[in-house]
Structures are given as structure tokens and as C-alpha cells.
Amino acid sequence: MTQNGDGSIHLVTRGSGDPILFIHGMPTNSRLWSGVIERLCGKYTCFAIDLPGLGKSPRMQYGPDYLRRLAEQIEELREKNKIAKWHIVGHDAGTAVAVHYAHYFQQQVGRMALLAPALFPELKPYYLIEPLRKPILGEMLAPLIQAVFWKIAMPRALSETEDCNELVEDFHAPFSGFAGPWQFMSFMRWGEPSQLLANVPGFLPQLSMPTLIFYGSRDAAIPEAFARKASSLMPNASMVTLDSGHFLPLQQPESIAKHLARFFCSQSAASTQGRFNESDRAHINSFCSCPAES
């Protein structure tokens, strides 16, 4: 089932059971989670959104309060779907959306999982994107960079996934057509990480929900230091490293789904104090003994 929550955020819903919200990163869409959701929807109600300007969601104007406004729109989706509390899963830029939602609406979050966490103000844009963010130069190079990004860089990054060409075409759809290169340029001028993410290190220690952080050992986009820093700052966090590139939900859907199922369904994932013990970490870092239904 698909819907647009308040006319702006496109939402895909599948399955039944405890609710999980999946938030993709850039420049993908809710389809990033299809393989994971397929494996979890037998035991969970899986919600996946298209972030503004991607997939089927219209763009939302950027500004200093962009992530707060986005968190408020996600909260409207929760209320509309009559969900008391849900788990939150984010990838890449979606992890920044996830932690901001958890920051503003902590009581509505059960547990959280962050994949390739792009959370800190020292985040650097992908090298092909950086020229697009510069006035005049970006306008001049937009067609060339768009072609290189979508015809070479993304297919190479997704080469380990099934339906690679179809996925690239789907992710590229909002930027197709004659004006597409400049639409892509405009979208990538989304703001400065140093400003939008400046307060994240300060509030991460306040997020007390159990959190599972995933990192791909071959991720060339997000440094491992980000995953380790997030894990150290969040009081109830544990980290899992997988043999994967940046797009973990596409490259390791079965492993991700099993880890999430174990994390969300196990009542022993945290100790009675709400913290991980060594036994819990060993269970979470192994394949799940209560796998989700396909």
C-alpha cells in the first residue's frame, strides 16, 4: 500500500506486526529497503518513506530548521497511521533524519538502527557532488557531472546488487529530462553539514533507546570513524561491521534483515538497565535465531 501522508511525504506500507519506519539516504528512495522489507514484513509492519525531492515526494525548501520540520512531518505520519511507538531504521543521510526524529520525539521511538551513519558536521560531500555546490561552476558542469554520476559512479556502487540498472533508473527518475542536470544540481545544494549537523554530537548522548549501528567494511562514502563515534556517544549503542560497500540494504539485505529481526524481537537485547551486556552483543552480532518470514 502506498500513500502520501500530508500531501508531501510519500509512504509505502507492507506487512503486519510491530511497526518499523525505514528512512533512505541520498540520492536513493524507499526502494532501497525492498529486500530488507521483503524479509521482515511477515512479522513487522514496514513503513518506508521517500524523502523530499526523491522518489515520489516533492521537494521541501531547505533552511536551518529543515531536519526539525522533516521530523515533524514524520510525526504526522505516525499519528495518521495510529502508531503508538515504532522502531526507526535509517541509512546514510536518513540516519541524520532518524536521530533528529528521535531527538524531538524520543517517546515515540522503541529502538533504532543506523546504517552508514552520516551524522557529524565534518561530513564531506561526495567528490563528484562538490563542484555542483559551487555557483556558476555547478551550472556549467551539471550535465557532465550528472552523466558521470548516474552512468558510471552509481552503477559501479550498486554493481553487487540485483537489478542494478533498474535501481539506478528508479533513483535517477526525479532528475530525468532536459532540466534534470540542473534539478540534480539544485537538490545537491541542500545545505552545509557543518550547520545542519552541528548539534548532533551534543544530543546523541541523550538518546537512550537501544541502537544498532551498521558499517560496511568497504564503504568509501562514510568513514568508519563516524560509526565508531556514534556508537561511543550513544549510551545504549552497539556496532556491527559487515562485508559490504556503502549501500548495505541493497548489498546485504538478508544479513541486515536478520540482525534487525534479532534486535527488534529479542527481549534480551538490552539488560534490565537498558544497556547491552557482552552476551547481548554476541547475539546481535551473530545471525538471528528468530528470522523474519519472507
**Stated length of the chain:** 294
Query: Alpha-carbon distance 50 to 288, whole Å?
Result: 28
Residues 218-224: contacts with CB under 8 Å, at least 24 apart: 218/243, 218/244, 218/245, 219/116, 219/244, 219/245, 219/246, 220/245, 220/246, 221/92, 221/116, 221/126, 221/246, 222/92, 222/116, 222/117, 222/118, 222/246
Q: Dump pLDDT digits (tens) for 8-17.
A: 799 999 999 9
Q: Dump pLDDT digits (tens) for 100-145.
A: 999 999 999 999 999 999 999 999 888 889 999 999 999 999 999 9
Q: Dump pLDDT digits (tens) for 64-73.
A: 899 999 999 9
Domain definitions of the chain by residue range: 2-123+197-284, 127-191
Query: What's the confidence (pLDDT) of residue 1?
Result: 59
Which amino acid, 95? T
Give 175's contacts (C-beta < 8 A, 6+ positions apart). Answer: 27, 146, 150, 181, 183, 184, 187
pLDDT, greater one: 288 or 137: 137
Predicted confidence band of residue 254 (pLDDT cuts 50, 70, 90): very high
Q: Does the structure show a pLDDT above 80 at 262?
A: yes
Predicted confidence band of residue 247 (pLDDT cuts 50, 70, 90): very high
- Please provide the CATH number assigned to the domain covering 2-123+197-284: 3.40.50.1820
C-beta of residue 168 within 8 angstroms of C-beta of residue 155: yes
Taking Cα atoms as reference points, which of 32, 60, 43 lies closest to residue 190?
60
The SS3 call for residue 45 is strand
Query: What's the confidence (pLDDT) of residue 31?
Result: 97
Query: What's the confidence (pLDDT) of residue 190?
Result: 79
pLDDT, greater one: 1 or 225: 225
The whole-angstrom distance between residue 210's C-alpha and the CA centroid of its chain comes to: 17
| Residues paired with residue 44 on neighbouring β-strands, in sequence order | 18
Rounded to 5 degrees, φ, ψ at 266 are -80, 125
